[in-house]
């Protein structure tokens, strides 16, 4: 579990590492627009802030940041000048881009692909029931083709 600072200027979610920010008072900045925020945390709860502090330098950087309204574009840990390096990062052979998964192993449509269209709402919150035909017509057409070829299987 970690705390976040949601920058309203650029709509970026900045994730604060709970180990550094458990009992902490100081300034951090937004990874996207570099707006400096003052926060005071006591036992993991936000006691004061986030308050904008224009013209000041940050004490520490956020660990990770993403933009949920922009197809989850993100700043990974260790991005120079934007996020703090993460000491327990994987070796370089394990780092990379995740696969875009549109269909399960049985050929059924999934929600693991991006960018999600704007019709999904904030953070793509469709719940358990979603209409793939309205959400993404191209995925629906590809699914119908899989059914015709016999690639979409039941349990």
In this structure, are residues 58 and 79 in contact, taking their beta carbons and an 8 Å threshold? no
15 shares a domain with 76: yes
- Report the SS3 class of residue 99: coil
80 shares a domain with 7: yes
Q: What is the pTM of this model?
A: 0.54
Q: Does residue 93 form part of some domain?
A: no
Neighbours of 5 (CB within 10 A): 22
Q: Does residue 155 form part of some domain?
A: no
Find, among 25, 31, 42, the residue nearest to 5 by Cα. 31
pLDDT digits (tens, 9 = 90+) for 41-89: 888 788 887 889 888 898 888 888 888 887 777 888 878 888 887 766 5
Q: Does residue 95 form part of some domain?
A: no
pLDDT digits (tens, 9 = 90+) for 84-102: 877 665 666 666 666 677 7
139 shares a domain with 107: yes
Q: How many domains does the chain have?
A: 2
Full domain range(s) for residue 61: 3-85
């Amino acid at each position: 579990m970690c705390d976040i600072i949601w920058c309203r200027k650029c709509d970026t979610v900045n994730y604060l590492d709970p180990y550094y920010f458990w009992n902490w008072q100081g300034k951090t900045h937004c990874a996207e627009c570099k707006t400096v925020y003052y926060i005071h945390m006591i036992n993991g709860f936000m006691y004061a802030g986030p308050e904008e502090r224009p013209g000041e330098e940050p004490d520490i950087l956020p660990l990770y940041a993403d933009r949920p309204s922009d197809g989850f574009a993100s700043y990974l840990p260790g991005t120079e000048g934007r996020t703090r390096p993460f000491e327990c990062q994987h070796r370089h052979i394990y780092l990379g881009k995740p696969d875009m998964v549109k269909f399960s192993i049985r050929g059924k449509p999934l929600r693991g692909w991006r960018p999600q269209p704007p019709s999904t709402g904030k953070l793509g919150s469709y719940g358990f029931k979603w209409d793939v035909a309205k959400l993404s017509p191209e995925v629906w057409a590809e699914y119908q083709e899989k059914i015709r070829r016999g690639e979409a299987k039941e349990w």
